Each structure stands twice: as structure tokens, then as C-alpha cells.
Amino acid sequence: MSSWTFFVLAFSSLAAAASGAWTFEDAQAVVAAKGGKVDAYKFSPTKPIKEAISLGPKEILKVSLTIKEDSKVGRPHQAFLLVQEPESKVEAFFPLTVKELSGKGKVDLSHKDLPAFLLTAPSLSLSLVLGSFGESAASVVTIGNVEPSLDPTAKALLEKQKQKDIGGETVIYKAKDEIRHIFRADPQSPPKIITLVFLLSVLAGLGGLFVVWFPILGGNLSHLPRALKAAPVSHPLFFASLLSLEAIFFMYYTQWNLFQTLAGMAAIGPVALFSGSRALREVRVRREKGER
Amino acid sequence: MPPKKNLSSTQTAPAAAASTTSATPTPHNASPSDPLSILGGILNTYSQSTPQRTKLIDAFLGFLVVTGVLQFAYCVVAGNYPFNAFLAGFCATVGQFVLTASLRMQSDPANKSEFASVSPERAFADFVFCSVILHLFCTNFIN
């Protein structure tokens, strides 16, 4: 906030020659209490109030000034009093009521305006913010410091209210600490030995299948010579086309894309169909003759 | 079409007694009451009255069951990463089992009356065609 203020002031002083800047004069801050004691503090854009203003529970801080755009009075689009707690940068703002023709603006500040968090702070900085459309530079001017003073019962109540407001934890609306989220690790493939064991057991199952097919059940291999004599081209061609289809699927798994696979299937498919129908026709002839 | 009586006799007589699945216990035994002898009777009837071609198909079905169990055990032991690989493999096994079971149903001589329009060769051709398509889709799904 202070560097921003410095920058704006520097820019506005530089730019003052080229375009206007919003500023104010005849400014004073008055602390008025019902009992009658009145403290008045005068300030200007270059001279903030040095001593801290103490604001009691029944006192009202009245800020009044005349706003000028360069040298003529004006009413800016935004004119407000910024109350900020310096350490946490929590702030509240209160718009000034500004008369259009005379440029006189004023705002009242009392305990009932401030939220519990600011009221319980030890010291609050006051700034005046002026800005509008057009080329005139905006300005943020530090006016001084205000210290709200609370009596103990009020303070206790406010502390309780503060806890209720912010949920029992000193959480205020500022940037939170960075969360370091540790993402779950990517799933990993299991160790190769397990995969190998299961692969070997599946292959053993396949071996068992061949054992059952050929020695135990007698896999009809004796039919082969007769079948080949009857249909010498169809049977091997059919078997070879089926094997090549499976080989195409293996290529699809390892290298090819879908279109190459479909092209391969379109080439081999009719061969399989044609040779298959011939081969099976031959089988049917043998079955009907009872030789199977 | 050659007359049906030329079919080998080993297939007609027991086939008439058997049904599609492994048969009920034979009635002429002394009615056994303990499960072990019932089981023995079932196995006996199966080995005597099932034609050899059907037994070949049954051996393949048994292999598919064993493979499926192994796949599932692997999934339980080693986790299911990558999941679609497990699904592809398991679906291949189950799908092949379904196709082989339907081939068995259609080609068993005892069921000839129910599948009059489908010859065993036609059933086998359907089986091969559907298996090829199954293999294509499962290969695609493994990724």
C-alpha cells in the first residue's frame, strides 16, 4: 500500500503538468464525543496527522475536506476513507458524501461502523482514496492512524464475536499458505515374476489341453490323410488363413493401426471363407459317409 | 443324402439315452444314496455315452474355465492395472466359452432334432467366424 501510494503520488506530481490530479484541501479530522470534548486535527495531502487518534466507544471521528481536481472543485466518482490494519492488510472503506457544486466531502467513523476484527486491532491506518474517470490521476493519501479504544466488557464481547465470525480460528481473508498436494502415485504393473508364473500356468493349461486332445481322446489325426486326399487345397488353406488372421491381430496389438488391420482382414477374410466352406463341405461328406 | 443308418452305431444307441448335458444317473444301478457313487455314476455315463467329438469340445471348455480362473486369480493377486487388459482377456475367455458351448449344443448328435436346420459343419463355421470377431474386439480392447 505504501509503495502504491508513493507511486501514485510521484506519478500525480509528474502528471500534474500534463493532466490534472485529484487532491483535497481544508481537511480536518474531528473526534467528537457526546460529552462535549472535541479534538480537531488538521491535515493535508503532504502532511498527515502525526499523533495517533484515539477513538472511544461513544466517540465519532468526522473527516471533512474539500475535494479539488487540480485547481477547481469537483466531485470524483470515487472518494472514500480506507481503514486498514497494517499487518494483515485487512481493510474496510467508507464512502464520503460529496456535494457536487462545492466539492465538500465528509464521512463519519465510529465503533459501530468497524467490523470486530478491525475494532480489536491495536492501530489502524487511515487513508483517503480519490479517483474518477477521465485523465486526472487518482490519489491515495495517508491521513494518519486511529486507535480504537475499547472498555474490557466490550472487548470481551467483540473477541467472542470475532471468533464466531471467523469460525474459531484466526483466519482472515488474505492469501492462504500454499498447499503442497502430494498426488497419489501412478499405478504400477506388478513385478514380472508374478506375471511370468501366471503365464506359465496358462501355458501349462494349454499343454494339458493338447494332452487331453491327442493321447487321451485320440484327436482324430488319423482322419487327416483321408481329408487331405479329398480336399488337398482347402484344408491347409483354411488352416493357414485362420493362423494368418490371428497373426494379423498380433500385428495389430504390437504395431499396426486399425485400418491396416482391417485391410489385412479384408484380404484374408474371403480366402478363409471360401476355403473354409470347401473344407467343411468335404468334412460333411465324410460325416455323412460315417467315416468320422 | 445317405440314410441315417450309416452313422456309426456307437453314436446312435447311447446318444438316444443321453441328453445334452452330462446325463442323469442310470436307473438300472442299485439306487446309490451317497454323493460319491452318484458322482461316479455321472462320470461313467458321461465317458460312455458322450461322442468323442463332443468330448474334444468339452476338453476345450475345461481349458477355458481353467484359464479364466487363472486370469481372475492374477487379478486378485497382482491388482487390476491396467484394467482394460484384464477385461479384454477375461472377456475373451468368457466369450470363447459361450461360443464353444453353443457349438457343443449345436453339434451334439443327440440334439439333432432341435437343430434340424443347422448342420454341425455350419455350426463350426459360425463358431470360427464369431471367434475371429471376438478375437478382433478383444485385441482392440487390450489397447
- Contacts with B104 (C-beta within 8 Å, 6 or more apart), sequence order: B54, B57, B58, B61
**First-to-last CA distance in chain A?**
99
Higher per-residue pLDDT: A9 or A156: A156
Q: What is the pLDDT of residues A12-32, one digit of tens each?
A: 555 544 568 888 888 888 888
Q: Which of A166, A184, A213 is the last residue of a domain?
A: A166
- Establish if A177 belongs to a structural domain: no
User: Domain segments of chain B: what residues?
Assistant: 63-143
Interface test with B, best of A186, A198, A206, A268 (most B CBs within 10 A): A198
- Cell readout for B108 is 451334439
Q: What is the pLDDT of residues B70-88, one digit of tens each?
A: 999 999 988 878 889 899 9
Q: Is the pLDDT of residue B103 over 90?
A: yes
Peptide bond into A225 cis (omega under 30): no
A110 shares a domain with A13:
yes
- Cell readout for B57 is 469340445
- Output the domain CATH number for residue A44: 2.60.40.10
How many structural domains comprise chain A? 2
Helix (H) or strand (E) holding A80: strand A78-84
Q: What's the ipTM?
A: 0.70
A198 inside 8 A of chain B by CB: yes
Interface test with B, best of A195, A209, A256 (most B CBs within 10 A): A209
Q: What is the pLDDT of residues A221-263, one digit of tens each?
A: 777 777 788 878 888 899 999 999 999 999 999 988 899 999 9
Distance from CA of A260 to the nearest CA of B (A): 13
Please give the C-alpha separations between residue B110 and each of A88, A146, A160, A284, in angstroms, as whole numbers: 90, 104, 89, 17
Q: Provide the β-strand partners of residue A65.
A: A105
- Contacts with A214 (C-beta within 8 Å, 6 or more apart), sequence order: A221
Cβ–Cβ gap A249/B136 under 8 Å: yes
pLDDT at position B129: 94
- Establish if A221 belongs to a structural domain: yes
Q: Is the pLDDT of residue A171 over 60?
A: no
pLDDT at position A224: 78
A217 inside 8 A of chain B by CB: yes
A226 shares a domain with A100:
no
- Establish if A179 belongs to a structural domain: no
Distance from CA of B52 to the nearest CA of A (A): 7
Quick one: pLDDT band at residue B17, thresholds 50, 70, 90?
A: very low
A113 shares a domain with A12:
yes
Among A139-153, A201-215, A278-292, B9-23, the range with the most confident prediction by mean pLDDT is A201-215
Distance from CA of B87 to the nearest CA of A (A): 15
Please give the C-alpha separations between residue B97 and each of A232, B62, B63, B103, in angstroms, as whole numbers: 31, 9, 9, 10
Distance from CA of B67 to the nearest CA of A (A): 6
List all residues of chain B from 2 to 61 with a beta carbon under 8 Å from chain A: 2, 6-8, 52-53, 55-56, 59-60
- Cell readout for A16 is 500534474
Q: Provide the β-strand partners of residue A92.
A: A83
A80 shares a domain with A151:
yes
pLDDT at position A227: 78
Q: What is residue B32's DSSP assignment?
A: -
Higher per-residue pLDDT: A160 or B107: B107
Which residue in A58, A75, A57 sits closest to A66, CA to CA? A75
Q: What is the pLDDT of residues B107-127, one digit of tens each?
A: 888 888 888 888 888 999 999
Which segments of A85-188 are extended strands (E)?
91-95, 97-98, 104-110, 124-131, 139-148
- Establish if A171 belongs to a structural domain: no
Q: Chain A residues with CB inside 8 Å of B6's CB?
A: 288-290
A160 shares a domain with A20:
yes
Write out the residue range of the structural domain in which residue A217 sits.
192-288
Which residue in B54, B86, B55 sits closest to B71, CA to CA? B86
Pairing of strands A59-69, A38-43: unpaired
- Cell readout for A252 is 495389430
Quick one: pLDDT band at residue B13, thresholds 50, 70, 90?
A: very low
Which residue in A286, A267, A137, A140 sits closest to A225, CA to CA? A286
Quick one: pLDDT band at residue A219, thresholds 50, 70, 90?
A: low
A157 shares a domain with A20:
yes
pTM of the model: 0.54
- Establish if A175 belongs to a structural domain: no
Q: What is the pLDDT of residues A45-104, one digit of tens each?
A: 888 888 888 888 888 888 889 988 888 888 889 999 999 988 888 889 999 999 888 889
- Establish if A260 belongs to a structural domain: yes
B52-78 and A192-211 helices, crossing angle to 10°: 170
- Cell readout for A121 is 486491532
Tell me the mean pLDDT in the region A166-170: 60
pLDDT at position A139: 87
Cα(B126)–Cα(A132) distance, rounded to whole angstroms? Answer: 84
